[in-house]
Amino acid sequence: MLTIIADRIHAQLRESDLVAHLNGDEFAMLLVPINNTKNVLQIADNIIDCMIQPVILSNDERVMTSLSISIALYPDHAMTP
């Protein structure tokens, strides 16, 4: 399940971006470079849209997912990278 979700997220990112599994059901993404907030919001919308489709398990069972996204931008939301 986590692999499928990670693949879906990764497919929405650019080659220069990074996705990492933190723990449990948490992922983090590092998007570099970001020229404006609009770009980040578009990527977040794309990730949300790709999660609408159910995950099909090996026994053909369908699992619906949900997610929340938080966004932090440097230097707006932090003193150091």
| Residues assigned a catalytic role | 25
User: Tokens in use for 25?
Assistant: 């059901």
CA-based nearest residue to 15, from 3, 32, 2: 32
Element (H, E) at 5: helix 2-12
